[in-house]
Copies of this chain bind each other. A is one copy, B any other.
Amino acid sequence: MEIAELGEFGLIERLTKDIKPENGSTIRGVGDDCAVLQYTGERRVLVTTDLLMEGVHFDLQYTPFKHLGYKSVMVNLSDIYAMMGTPRQITVSLAVSKRFSVEDIEALYSGMLLACQEHHVDLVGGDTTSSLTGLAISITAIGEARPMDIAYRDGAKPTDLICVSGNLGAAYMGLQLLEREKAVYTSQVNELKRQIKEAENNGDSQKLSTLNSQLSTLSQPDFSGREYLLERQLKPEARRDIVEALNKAGIRPTSMMDISDGLSSELMHICKQSNTGCRIYEERIPLDYQTAVMAEELNMNVTTCALNGGEDYELLFTVPLTMNDQVSQLEDVKVIGYITEPSLGCALITRDGQEFELKAQGWNPLSSESSSKLV
């Protein structure tokens, strides 16, 4: 169905009609000039926002709409967890060009609502409009936290332990895999189309029929054994479980960030804002087996991928040295190094004991090579 058939208000009504707020702090949701929220005086409000542009942040050739919706919410919830907060509401703004159907946008929304449901978050408003080209998604997430629980970026102190959740580099490897298969598929299609044109020019109807049949049955890439990498790229999960585990263990991080641009870049943010240096150990950086296999296959250094590949949405945080025992007992959390005096700079200690200065080579969406992520 074409979106113009429904119009803006029709589309919004269709997308939001089943939304029922589940948070006490959501007084009014969709349907007025503003959403109305209420927080008690002891809670602070956390606000974060992200703008995702087609062709820069996502490629619809291999990203299903539902996954895109899910991920676009997750990346915002991840920012709330990265302050040790609890997400409560989101607003969603979409700009869509004419090439999208109502069904596309419904699928996008269903992924957003699934993410909301899993994290008990209310969708409370937004804006739906048109764009000349492509799809733009802007999401704002609102959460709450007690003042004493909030983990900022600037609280790291020398001797603090540096911890990361999960493993790193997998989302980046997933992206490489998808990009490679897209290139293979596109070149196969182009080659078949070229041969079809040739057969047409030669009037070779038998060959034409064979080629057309080949084109229509051209197989999708086989990703078996690589599912984990794809999932990490297409369906990242914000680490609420880590925040809950830290709370349960009574561990209050001195600083925290989520890893969206790559470990190096994020760690340097923490060190810059906390006015410290750091040492991390290559051998301690958590990697998944599939990440290592894929890096090998692509002839890439897996440590570089883990340091600079973005979009893992794991949590990076620091805790006082005295918390070593408690933090070591946390599931899916690894200590990878420690905070130092600022004069020592930020460095990686390699497996053979060499020291390399960390560089923030993370994905820079404003660099001149911004259309793909860079290692």
A38 to B53, CA, bound (A): 31
Closest chain B residue, CB of each to CB of A269: B9
In the complex, what residues of B have CB within 8 A of residue A143's CB?
A: 34
Interface residues of A (CB under 8 A from B): 3-4, 6-8, 11, 27-28, 31-41, 44-51, 53-57, 79-80, 82-83, 85, 89, 91, 93-96, 98, 124-134, 136, 138, 140-143, 145, 147, 150, 152-154, 256-258, 273, 364-368, 370-371
**B31–A153 touching, CB < 8 Å:** yes
In the complex, what residues of B have CB within 8 A of residue A57's CB?
A: 129
**B138–A33 touching, CB < 8 Å:** no
A238 to chain B, nearest CB (A): 11
Closest chain B residue, CB of each to CB of A138: B138
A130 to chain B, nearest CB (A): 5
**A33–B83 touching, CB < 8 Å:** yes
**A53–B257 touching, CB < 8 Å:** no
24 A–B contact pairs at CB < 8 A? A3-B366, A4-B368, A8-B365, A34-B141, A35-B46, A35-B48, A36-B44, A36-B83, A38-B44, A38-B147, A39-B45, A40-B41, A47-B125, A49-B91, A49-B140, A50-B93, A51-B136, A53-B95, A53-B136, A55-B132, A56-B95, A57-B129, A96-B366, A132-B133
**B11–A80 touching, CB < 8 Å:** no
A211 to chain B, nearest CB (A): 33
Question: Given A33-B83, A368-B4 in contact, is the A89-B55 Cβ separation under 8 Å?
Answer: no
The 9 residue pairs across chains A and B that have the minimum distance between CB atoms: A138-B138, A51-B93, A34-B46, A37-B45, A33-B79, A41-B41, A34-B48, A55-B132, A33-B82
A125 to chain B, nearest CB (A): 7
Closest chain B residue, CB of each to CB of A42: B41
**A138–B51 touching, CB < 8 Å:** yes
A374 to chain B, nearest CB (A): 12
Q: Which of B37, B82, B95, B366 contacts A7 (CB 8 A)?
A: B366
Closest chain B residue, CB of each to CB of A142: B47
Besides A11-B366, A33-B257, A34-B46, 15 other CB < 8 A contacts?
A: A33-B82, A34-B79, A34-B85, A36-B83, A37-B47, A40-B41, A48-B125, A49-B138, A51-B93, A51-B95, A51-B127, A51-B136, A54-B132, A132-B133, A136-B138
In the complex, what residues of B have CB within 8 A of residue A256's CB?
A: 33
Closest chain B residue, CB of each to CB of A261: B8
